[in-house]
Structure 1
Amino acid sequence: MRDAYSFDEFYRSTSTRLMRYGYAIVGDLAEAQDLVQEAYTRAWQRWRTVADHPSPESWVRLVVTRLAVDRWRRLGRWQAALLRSGPPEPVRPPNEDTVLVVAALRRLPAAQRQALALHYLFDLPIAEIALETGVAVGTVKSWLSRGRAGLAEALAGTPAGGAREGDDDE
């Protein structure tokens, strides 16, 4: 446990400085937090080696710097791709039917939603769904049946599907 204790002490004594350094390097607090966290994670994974380094803090600082450079390179490639291809088409808002179906799906248990999505969106046969979810074929059939019934019931109560049972027009 001495390793964990020494790393904790190292972290407590250096994290504020390294966070300031990361922020100064990238200019974005959230990105700096991600970079510093990743650098400390790498230091922890190699703590026996890093602890023997003449300056463990400078080792972590170097990792933060390299991660920031990698980030800038990725952003540069992304910008170059955007310049070549132009910005992506704007995403259209979902139509009313999509909103109604998603709302109806959210009312179903997670297993039924998963089975319906795998079967109807990914065109997976029942046997593959059973294999992927780790359940029996009969269970998948039950999920699909109950999921379809639940969707039908939920959609029947929407304006597109008619009035709910017990609703009055008065």
Structure 2
Amino acid sequence: MDENIGIFLDDNMPEVLRRLQPQFGVFGCLGSHEYIWGDSEKTVCELSKAGITILRDEAVKIADAFYLAGRDDYYREKLTDSPRKTVQEILQGCVQALPVFMMDHQPVEVAAGQQQGVDLYVAGHTHHSQLFPLNLITQAMFKLDWGYWRQDDFQMIVSSGFGTWGPPVRVGTQSEIVSITVHFK
């Protein structure tokens, strides 16, 4: 969400999201706006009512085949003085033989994910800057501000997202919803 939970509720999104019925459930993680607007707890509650499990600095084993980890947003520390867990703490107890997919709204601790053996790291937040030429700034700020990157067994996807922040316009970037298909060997 790129605004406060009120807009999400006004647009009747919980009803829309309840229609999602994937085999292993619907998961998400909190982003910066939940902390900027100060409604992170209400957001978790409303998303839960919509059938979405929000992973907050935790990992869950899915079908004995892989782990899905979700990080609480980086702004949690900045705006609440409550530190989020490290990647190492989140993955403690995970069987290393199984793949780990990690959701982290802001791609700011990518190296920690790579060092701890995360196989696929998925993030957003950057909007690919939303307005050209500001993408030159986001490219300098983040290891990857948009797209796909791979190094050895570590893969990362940063989405430009489907919404906007600030002015409701994009110049030089596109809204997107990323669909990921995973094949296990």
When normalised by structure 2's length, the TM-score is 0.19
Which has the greater radius of gyration?
1
Q: Identify, as 1 or 2, the structure richer in helix.
A: 1
**Could you say which structure has the greater relative contact order, defined with CA pairs below 8 angstroms and 6 or more residues apart?**
2
Q: Identify, as 1 or 2, the structure richer in strand.
A: 2
When normalised by structure 1's length, the TM-score is 0.21
